[in-house]
């Protein structure tokens, strides 16, 4: 992609142009600073903002931002850039000045300014909902929601595919089964209900159930009108 930055033209060549020859050096220097260097600096700053916003887009979903959000996003990008510049100033000052009273005072001012910018950045991130903490929470909620849906679908699939064998005498669920070939009439299930009916005497139900998978298929997978509460 072509570099769209505006380059600063040669000051000497600009000074020799016809439209500037009648200017005094002071007038030309003033014009140069305001209209030439200023344009380049402004464009460079805009490029930095655009680059920072582009980097946000790599980590966060910015597609649904409204107009006010976009203004906040631009302000957030500017805050990051300013913080980067202040951090460079802080480092350079510490390295060049060493530890002396003047340096300490300047470093303290810069430190306070950086702390304020970090607070502003945090506030703007919360306004936009793009902090890493919020994103992590959203991802966890989304994952839990996905798992709930998967569990629900798995339960529905299980209930739809399984055959329920229920005692005809006491309505106790005796077994569930799934058949690869449910139409095969030779597939038969024989079950004995051992439910205790009387605990004092130890009497059990004893009902015998013999039924083929083909018959169960005709009964839509349930040999009784009762569906156990566990499977509802």
Is the residue at 213 inside a domain?
A: yes
Residues 69 and 171 occupy one common structural domain = no
Residue 52 forms part of a structural domain: yes
Whether the Cβ atoms of residue 127 and residue 72 lie closer than 8 Å to each other: yes
Q: Tell whether 168 and 54 lie within a shared domain.
A: no
Give the 3-state secondary structure of residue 190. Answer: strand
Structural domains of the chain, count: 2
Task: Report yes or no on 154 lying in a domain.
Answer: no
Residue 122's contacts (CB-CB under 8 Å, 6 or more residues apart) are 131
Residues 91 and 57 in one domain: yes
Residue 3 lies in a domain: no
Q: Give the domain extent around 171.
A: 162-231
Q: Are residues 121 and 169 in the same domain?
A: no
In this structure, the answer to whether residues 166 and 121 fall within a common structural domain is: no
- 56 and 116 fall within a common domain: yes
| Whether residues 187 and 133 fall in one domain | no
- pLDDT at position 199, please? 87
Domain-located, residue 101: yes
pLDDT value at position 204? Answer: 92
Across the 232 residues of the chain, what is the mean pLDDT of every consecutive 10-residue run?
A: 46 64 73 56 75 78 73 86 83 70 78 88 82 56 70 69 87 87 90 90 91 89 70 49
Return the pLDDT at 210.
93
For residue 17, the SS3 value is: coil
Encoded tokens for 222:
């349930």
Give the integer Cα–Cα distance in Å for 167 and 176: 12
Q: How many CB atoms are located within 10 Å of the residue 190 CB?
A: 9
The reply to whether 99 and 18 lie within a common domain is yes
Whether residue 148 is contained in a domain is answered as: no
Is there a single domain that holds both residue 27 and residue 99?
A: yes
Residue 152 in any domain: the answer is no
Q: Are residues 120 and 181 in the same domain?
A: no
């Amino acid at each position: 992609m072509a570099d769209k930055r505006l380059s600063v033209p040669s000051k000497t060549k600009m000074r020799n142009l016809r439209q500037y020859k009648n200017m005094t050096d002071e007038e030309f220097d003033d014009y140069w600073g305001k209209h030439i260097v200023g344009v380049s600096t402004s464009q460079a700053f805009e490029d930095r903002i655009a680059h920072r916003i582009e980097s946000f887009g790599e980590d966060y979903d910015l597609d649904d931002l409204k107009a006010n959000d976009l203004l906040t996003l631009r302000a957030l990008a500017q805050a990051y850039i300013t913080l980067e510049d202040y951090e460079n100033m802080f480092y350079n000052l510490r390295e060049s000045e060493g530890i002396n009273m003047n340096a300490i005072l300047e470093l303290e001012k810069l430190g306070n300014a950086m702390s304020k910018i970090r607070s502003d950045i945090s506030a703007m991130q919360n306004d936009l909902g793009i902090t890493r903490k919020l994103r992590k929470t959203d991802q966890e909620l989304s994952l839990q929601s996905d798992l709930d849906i998967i569990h629900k679908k798995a339960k529905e699939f299980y209930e739809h595919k399984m055959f329920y064998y229920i005692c005809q005498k006491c309505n106790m669920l005796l077994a569930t089964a799934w058949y690869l070939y449910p139409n095969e009439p030779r597939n038969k299930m024989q079950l004995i209900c051992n439910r205790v009916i009387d605990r004092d005497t130890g009497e059990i139900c004893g009902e015998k159930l013999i039924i083929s998978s083909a018959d169960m298929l005709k009964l839509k997978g349930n040999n009784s009108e009762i569906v156990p509460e566990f499977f509802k």
